[in-house]
Chains A and B, each alone.
Chain A
Amino acid sequence: DAKTTQPPSMDCAEGRAANLPCNHSTISGNEYVYWYRQIHSQGPQYIIHGLKNNETNEMASLIITEDRKSSTLILPHATLRDTAVYYCIVRVMGGGSNYKLTFGKGTLLTVNP
Protein backbone atom coordinates (compact mmCIF):
# COMPACT_ATOMS: atom_id res chain seq x y z
CA ASP A 1 0.00 0.00 0.00
CA ALA A 2 1.18 3.53 -0.77
CA LYS A 3 2.72 5.63 1.95
CA THR A 4 0.93 8.75 3.11
CA THR A 5 2.23 11.98 4.62
CA GLN A 6 0.16 14.15 6.93
CA PRO A 7 0.99 17.14 9.12
CA PRO A 8 1.32 16.05 12.75
CA SER A 9 -1.11 18.61 14.06
CA MET A 10 -3.58 21.32 13.06
CA ASP A 11 -5.86 23.76 14.83
CA CYS A 12 -9.27 24.93 13.77
CA ALA A 13 -11.80 27.35 15.25
CA GLU A 14 -15.17 25.94 16.16
CA GLY A 15 -17.70 26.50 13.40
CA ARG A 16 -15.04 26.92 10.73
CA ALA A 17 -14.13 24.45 8.05
CA ALA A 18 -11.25 22.12 8.85
CA ASN A 19 -9.13 21.16 5.86
CA LEU A 20 -6.81 18.23 6.49
CA PRO A 21 -4.24 17.52 3.77
CA CYS A 22 -2.68 14.20 2.83
CA ASN A 23 0.06 13.45 0.35
CA HIS A 24 0.16 10.06 -1.35
CA SER A 25 2.43 10.68 -4.32
CA THR A 26 3.13 6.97 -4.94
CA ILE A 27 -0.51 5.94 -5.10
CA SER A 28 -1.37 3.30 -7.69
CA GLY A 29 -4.34 3.33 -10.02
CA ASN A 30 -6.22 0.68 -8.05
CA GLU A 31 -5.69 2.23 -4.63
CA TYR A 32 -8.40 4.02 -2.72
CA VAL A 33 -7.96 6.89 -0.28
CA TYR A 34 -9.60 6.26 3.09
CA TRP A 35 -10.01 8.56 6.06
CA TYR A 36 -10.54 7.37 9.60
CA ARG A 37 -10.41 9.28 12.85
CA GLN A 38 -9.77 8.32 16.45
CA ILE A 39 -11.27 10.38 19.19
CA HIS A 40 -9.38 10.13 22.45
CA SER A 41 -9.76 6.72 24.13
CA GLN A 42 -12.11 5.41 21.44
CA GLY A 43 -11.76 3.03 18.55
CA PRO A 44 -11.06 4.39 15.07
CA GLN A 45 -14.10 5.56 13.14
CA TYR A 46 -14.57 5.46 9.38
CA ILE A 47 -15.20 8.85 7.78
CA ILE A 48 -15.08 8.60 4.00
CA HIS A 49 -13.22 7.06 1.08
CA GLY A 50 -12.76 7.69 -2.64
CA LEU A 51 -10.89 6.60 -5.74
CA LYS A 52 -10.61 9.62 -7.99
CA ASN A 53 -13.84 11.59 -7.81
CA ASN A 54 -14.66 13.95 -5.00
CA GLU A 55 -16.92 12.42 -2.39
CA THR A 56 -19.29 13.83 0.20
CA ASN A 57 -21.25 12.25 3.00
CA GLU A 58 -22.92 13.43 6.18
CA MET A 59 -19.60 13.71 7.99
CA ALA A 60 -17.17 15.22 5.51
CA SER A 61 -16.05 15.86 1.97
CA LEU A 62 -13.04 14.32 0.26
CA ILE A 63 -11.27 16.23 -2.47
CA ILE A 64 -8.77 14.22 -4.52
CA THR A 65 -6.48 16.04 -6.94
CA GLU A 66 -6.65 15.11 -10.59
CA ASP A 67 -3.28 13.36 -10.49
CA ARG A 68 -4.43 11.58 -7.29
CA LYS A 69 -1.17 12.39 -5.55
CA SER A 70 -2.85 14.27 -2.74
CA SER A 71 -6.21 14.72 -1.10
CA THR A 72 -7.96 16.94 1.42
CA LEU A 73 -10.53 15.97 3.99
CA ILE A 74 -12.94 18.78 4.72
CA LEU A 75 -15.07 19.01 7.84
CA PRO A 76 -17.37 21.88 6.81
CA HIS A 77 -18.33 23.13 10.27
CA ALA A 78 -15.95 21.77 12.87
CA THR A 79 -17.22 21.24 16.39
CA LEU A 80 -15.37 20.51 19.63
CA ARG A 81 -16.33 16.85 19.22
CA ASP A 82 -14.31 16.70 16.01
CA THR A 83 -11.09 16.98 18.00
CA ALA A 84 -9.33 13.73 17.13
CA VAL A 85 -6.43 12.13 15.28
CA TYR A 86 -7.28 11.85 11.59
CA TYR A 87 -5.69 9.09 9.54
CA CYS A 88 -5.31 9.12 5.79
CA ILE A 89 -4.87 5.57 4.50
CA VAL A 90 -4.28 4.34 0.99
CA ARG A 91 -5.09 0.74 0.21
CA VAL A 92 -5.65 -1.50 -2.73
CA MET A 93 -9.06 -2.41 -4.01
CA GLY A 94 -9.89 -6.08 -3.69
CA GLY A 95 -7.13 -6.76 -1.24
CA GLY A 96 -8.00 -10.39 -0.74
CA SER A 97 -6.02 -12.08 1.97
CA ASN A 98 -3.86 -9.01 2.40
CA TYR A 99 -6.75 -6.75 3.27
CA LYS A 100 -5.80 -4.59 6.21
CA LEU A 101 -5.61 -0.97 7.26
CA THR A 102 -2.10 0.39 7.68
CA PHE A 103 -2.28 3.38 10.01
CA GLY A 104 0.37 6.10 10.02
CA LYS A 105 0.82 8.78 12.63
CA GLY A 106 -2.13 10.84 11.44
CA THR A 107 -2.96 14.48 12.12
CA LEU A 108 -4.12 15.62 15.52
CA LEU A 109 -6.88 18.12 14.82
CA THR A 110 -7.72 20.36 17.75
CA VAL A 111 -10.92 22.35 17.44
CA ASN A 112 -10.82 25.41 19.66
CA PRO A 113 -13.85 27.25 21.09
Chain B
Amino acid sequence: DTAVSQTPKYLVTQMGNDKSIKCEQNLGHDTMYWYKQDSKKFLKIMFSYNNKELIINETVPNRFSPKSPDKAHLNLHINSLELGDSAVYFCASSPTSRGQETQYFGPGTRLLVL
Protein backbone atom coordinates (compact mmCIF):
# COMPACT_ATOMS: atom_id res chain seq x y z
CA ASP B 1 0.00 0.00 0.00
CA THR B 2 3.01 2.29 -0.45
CA ALA B 3 1.73 5.71 -1.51
CA VAL B 4 4.92 7.04 -3.10
CA SER B 5 7.53 4.48 -4.07
CA GLN B 6 11.01 4.88 -5.50
CA THR B 7 13.40 2.46 -7.12
CA PRO B 8 16.12 1.70 -6.50
CA LYS B 9 16.56 2.41 -2.81
CA TYR B 10 20.34 2.39 -3.15
CA LEU B 11 22.43 3.16 -6.21
CA VAL B 12 26.22 2.96 -6.34
CA THR B 13 27.86 3.84 -9.63
CA GLN B 14 30.99 5.20 -11.25
CA MET B 15 31.60 8.75 -12.37
CA GLY B 16 30.55 9.35 -15.94
CA ASN B 17 27.81 6.74 -15.97
CA ASP B 18 24.17 7.43 -16.81
CA LYS B 19 21.51 6.28 -14.35
CA SER B 20 17.78 6.58 -13.78
CA ILE B 21 15.64 6.70 -10.65
CA LYS B 22 11.98 5.82 -10.87
CA CYS B 23 9.08 7.16 -8.86
CA GLU B 24 5.47 6.07 -8.77
CA GLN B 25 2.53 7.31 -6.72
CA ASN B 26 -0.80 5.54 -6.29
CA LEU B 27 -2.57 8.46 -4.64
CA GLY B 28 -4.15 9.85 -7.79
CA HIS B 29 -2.24 13.10 -7.37
CA ASP B 30 -1.71 15.55 -10.22
CA THR B 31 1.67 16.90 -9.19
CA MET B 32 4.98 15.21 -8.55
CA TYR B 33 8.35 16.52 -7.40
CA TRP B 34 12.00 15.63 -7.11
CA TYR B 35 14.03 16.90 -4.15
CA LYS B 36 17.72 16.46 -3.42
CA GLN B 37 19.16 16.15 0.09
CA ASP B 38 22.91 16.62 0.16
CA SER B 39 25.46 15.50 2.73
CA LYS B 40 24.74 18.55 4.88
CA LYS B 41 21.12 17.43 5.03
CA PHE B 42 19.71 20.43 3.17
CA LEU B 43 16.60 19.42 1.26
CA LYS B 44 16.05 21.34 -1.97
CA ILE B 45 13.52 21.04 -4.74
CA MET B 46 14.78 20.18 -8.20
CA PHE B 47 11.73 19.69 -10.43
CA SER B 48 7.99 19.59 -10.37
CA TYR B 49 5.53 18.21 -12.89
CA ASN B 50 1.81 18.82 -13.02
CA ASN B 51 -0.16 16.45 -15.23
CA LYS B 52 3.00 15.54 -17.13
CA GLU B 53 3.95 19.19 -17.66
CA LEU B 54 7.13 20.66 -16.18
CA ILE B 55 6.25 23.56 -13.87
CA ILE B 56 9.33 23.96 -11.69
CA ASN B 57 12.98 23.68 -12.73
CA GLU B 58 15.25 24.98 -10.02
CA THR B 59 18.46 25.73 -11.90
CA VAL B 60 19.47 22.12 -12.04
CA PRO B 61 22.27 21.10 -14.47
CA ASN B 62 20.90 19.86 -17.75
CA ARG B 63 22.52 16.49 -17.02
CA PHE B 64 19.38 15.93 -14.95
CA SER B 65 16.32 15.21 -17.08
CA PRO B 66 12.98 14.38 -15.50
CA LYS B 67 10.46 12.43 -17.50
CA SER B 68 6.80 11.93 -16.72
CA PRO B 69 5.18 9.23 -18.89
CA ASP B 70 1.91 9.70 -17.04
CA LYS B 71 0.78 11.62 -13.99
CA ALA B 72 1.46 8.65 -11.69
CA HIS B 73 5.14 8.42 -12.64
CA LEU B 74 8.06 10.83 -12.55
CA ASN B 75 11.45 9.43 -13.38
CA LEU B 76 14.80 11.16 -13.03
CA HIS B 77 17.57 10.44 -15.51
CA ILE B 78 21.07 11.63 -14.77
CA ASN B 79 23.76 11.75 -17.45
CA SER B 80 27.50 11.80 -16.90
CA LEU B 81 27.30 11.37 -13.15
CA GLU B 82 29.66 13.46 -11.03
CA LEU B 83 30.92 13.01 -7.48
CA GLY B 84 28.79 15.96 -6.37
CA ASP B 85 25.65 14.16 -7.46
CA SER B 86 26.00 11.86 -4.47
CA ALA B 87 22.96 12.56 -2.32
CA VAL B 88 19.58 11.24 -1.31
CA TYR B 89 16.89 11.95 -3.89
CA PHE B 90 13.29 12.15 -2.72
CA CYS B 91 10.23 11.98 -4.88
CA ALA B 92 6.99 13.55 -3.66
CA SER B 93 3.45 14.10 -4.86
CA SER B 94 0.53 16.37 -4.03
CA PRO B 95 -3.08 16.67 -5.21
CA THR B 96 -2.42 19.85 -7.20
CA SER B 97 0.25 22.47 -7.81
CA ARG B 98 -1.84 25.26 -6.32
CA GLY B 99 -3.16 25.90 -2.86
CA GLN B 100 -2.48 24.42 0.51
CA GLU B 101 -2.10 20.82 -0.46
CA THR B 102 0.44 18.80 1.44
CA GLN B 103 3.18 16.79 -0.19
CA TYR B 104 3.73 13.11 0.36
CA PHE B 105 7.30 11.91 0.13
CA GLY B 106 8.80 8.64 -0.97
CA PRO B 107 11.45 6.75 1.02
CA GLY B 108 14.36 8.20 -0.96
CA THR B 109 17.05 6.87 -3.27
CA ARG B 110 20.58 6.97 -1.89
CA LEU B 111 22.96 7.67 -4.77
CA LEU B 112 26.69 7.27 -4.30
CA VAL B 113 28.98 8.21 -7.17
CA LEU B 114 32.50 6.80 -6.93
Contact = CB atoms under 8 A, between A and B. Distances in A.
Chains A and B are bound partners? yes
Interface of A: 32, 34, 38, 41-46, 49, 85, 87, 93-103, 105
Contacts of B42: 103, 105
Given A99-B98, A103-B43, A43 B56 contact: no
Contacts, number: 60
B102 A93 contact: no
Interface of B: 4, 31, 33, 35, 41-45, 48, 55-56, 58, 90, 92, 94, 97-100, 102-108
B97 A97 contact: yes
Interface SS of B by simple majority: strand
A43 B106 CA distance: 6
B45 A100 contact: yes
A99 B93 CA distance: 12
A100 to B, nearest CB: 4
Nearest to B101: A99
B108 A43 contact: yes
A93 B97 CA distance: 11
